[in-house]
A and B are shown apart, each in its own frame.
Chain A
Amino acid sequence: MSRGTAADRAANAARRKALLVFLVAAVAIGVQLAAVQLRLPAREPLGELAYYPSGTWLRQSALGEATAWADLLWLRAVQYYGEHRMVDNEFKQMAHVFEVITTLDPRFQSAYVFGGTSLCQEGRQFEAGVRLLEKAVEHNPRAWIYPFELGFVHYVGTGGNRDLTRATFEFAQAARQPEAPEFCSRFAAWSGQKAGHEGVAFELWRQVAETTDNAYMRDKAIEYLRRLVKGTGQERNLEIWAKSLRPLEGGVPEEGDAGEDDAPVEEEDPEAPRGQRVSGLPARGPTS
């Protein structure tokens, strides 16, 4: 009995030694790997997106599951956008990824709208964004949203890409489609009259913030609205209005704060944020 116990103790001691050696070796290997990793150049977030094959090829290989693949790629694209937005604001692969998604599912509205506007705005790839939205029109000729978005990106166009003639044409095209909301023709009229740019831009971004289901899109729209009302005394009203918007599924990581979140909330004036900036426009805003 006692001999057995002694043997057990010896075996336990041997096991403990082996475990200790194993742990030391694991830590040493881990440290080495970390050191190697530090010397390597930083990996681009979700860089593998560059190796995605063309959408046409993927569509053939999807064996009837093209929309499911488009959904999975959409999740990757959203991640890609989110990571680069936080890291470097460079969106090199975005045009390619959205091209693949929309080839897999040519009716994927969110991919067209989010991809098109993001490429034109923060992606600084205006041509690619417009191409994506034109592809949307080609595949969905009776949908009003795509010519409206084309009008939108041409109206608010950054970096010398503003084109009021094209914007007016696209807003008018949107207004002609079945089920087009009434504000399409209003934007077409304002754009055609070359009404005060900031006022119309404000209404366009407000439209996005109020109607989108995409948290990133809303965040982006509110960011542009903040820029537009800066120094007008309407900042607080804008924040109140932004807080009153319906909650969306998922969220955008907080990067900064408006600084007024803790301020006491005054009585809401829904007309106030746009009131003074929309010069030359009818008293009623473009959305109800």
Chain B
Amino acid sequence: MNAILAVARSTFREALRDRVLVLVFAFGAIVLAMSRLLAPIALGEGPRITVDLGLSALGLVGIAIVVLVGTQLVHKEIERRTIHVVLSRPVSRSEYLIGKWAGLAATMAVAVFGMTAMLAAVGTSVLGPSIVGPIVQAAFMIACANAILAALAVLFSSLSTPVLSVAYTLGLYATGYWTNDLRTFARQLPGLGGEVLNAVSYVLPNLEVFNLRSQVAYGEGASVFHLALAMGYAGAYVAAALALAVVAFERRELK
């Protein structure tokens, strides 16, 4: 556990050194300011646009961190051979990978919740305090979805090159929003093809579960049951992805 925390801390510190969070907060602040500037031409929809675009920016910032940092996390250390220094200490490969994921998830979470605080402040000023709850719920769900993508990024980073890892992670991010459509399509497809497609749709991460953006636009949140189920799903998916990454990484020969 200590080893995991040590790796996570160093990953988090490295992200801070790379000024990832500064860039993220600057981007978030610009988007929030822009959404307020757009408000006067929105004909009464200014507050809604502020919250909607703010949440979208929040989601995109999380994805950007996962893709830009996460996909080269392990590969970079293998290339620089610094991984040998880490693994020569009492740190197992599994602890190393889980620590890397935890550090990446913490970086993403700090960015998302920092921006959530900004968005909640702006949202309160335009829609009143009742919007804070839905915004926090939606941000929490965004963080859960990004934690899954971070686990997948770590999995791909430990197996492949950064370019391919970016492609795979973004591919799963896109298909993650199409799982329900894939199931509908599978139902129309006769025979084995339909069954295979249906199975694939359950293996892919269902990111629509974490999407509360359209509800927040109307000041609505999700039920506790939905939140608990989504959290459980995220936890199970992260565990599965990291387990797969550990199995693959244990067998990998590091030159």
Contacts and interface: CB of A to CB of B under 8 A. Distances in A.
Interface stretch (A74-82, A90-98, A258-266): A74-82
Nearest to B44: A213
Interface residues of A, number: 26
Interface stretch (A62-70, A130-138, A163-171): A62-70
A196 B52 CA distance: 44
B213 A65 contact: yes
Contacts of B207: 64
Interface in A92-136: 105, 107, 110, 114
Contact of B44 (A64, A105, A249): A249
Contacts of B181: 60
Interface in B114-134: none
A78 B213 contact: no
B53 interface: yes
B194 interface: no
A60 B177 CA distance: 8
A105 B43 contact: no
Nearest to B217: A67
A67 B218 CA distance: 11
A107 B218 contact: yes
B51 to A, nearest CB: 10
A68 B43 contact: no
B211 A213 contact: no
A68 B52 contact: yes
Contacts of A60: 178, 181
Contacts of A78: 41-43
Given A65-B213, A67-B214, A213 B43 contact: yes
A215 interface: yes
B45 A74 contact: yes
B208 interface: yes
Nearest to B207: A64
B44 A214 contact: yes
Interface centre among A71, A213, A216, A249 (most CB of B within 10 A): A71
A178 interface: no
Interface in A230-282: 248-251
A212 B44 contact: yes
A204 B216 CA distance: 31
B45 A71 contact: yes
B240 interface: no
Contact of B211 (A64, A107, A248): A64
B217 A64 contact: no
B213 to A, nearest CB: 6
B193 interface: no
Contacts of A67: 52, 213-214, 217
Interface in B145-185: 173-174, 177-178, 181
A212 B44 CA distance: 8
Interface of A: 60, 63-68, 71, 74-75, 78-79, 105, 107, 110, 114, 212-217, 248-251
Given A65-B56, A250-B46, 12 more contacts: A64-B59, A64-B208, A68-B55, A71-B42, A71-B45, A75-B41, A78-B42, A110-B43, A114-B43, A248-B44, A250-B42, A250-B43
Interface of B: 38-46, 48-49, 52-53, 55-56, 59, 173-174, 177-178, 181, 207-208, 211, 213-214, 217-218
23 contacts: A64-B208, A65-B56, A67-B213, A68-B52, A68-B213, A71-B42, A71-B45, A71-B48, A71-B53, A75-B38, A75-B41, A75-B49, A78-B43, A107-B217, A110-B45, A114-B43, A213-B43, A213-B44, A213-B45, A214-B43, A216-B43, A217-B43, A249-B43
